[in-house]
Structure 1
Amino acid sequence: MSPADVAAELGFSRRTIYRWISLGKGPRVFVSPGGHLRVRRADFIEWVQENGLETKGRQ
Structure 2
Amino acid sequence: MVELIENLYNKIRTNNLIFIILIILFCLISCGRKGDLERPPSTDGLEPPEILEDSIIKY
TM superposition score category, shorter chain reference: under 0.3
Higher RCO structure, 1 or 2 (CA under 8 Å, sep 6+)? 1
TM-score, normalized by length of structure 2? 0.22
TM-score, normalized by length of structure 1? 0.22
Larger Rg: 2
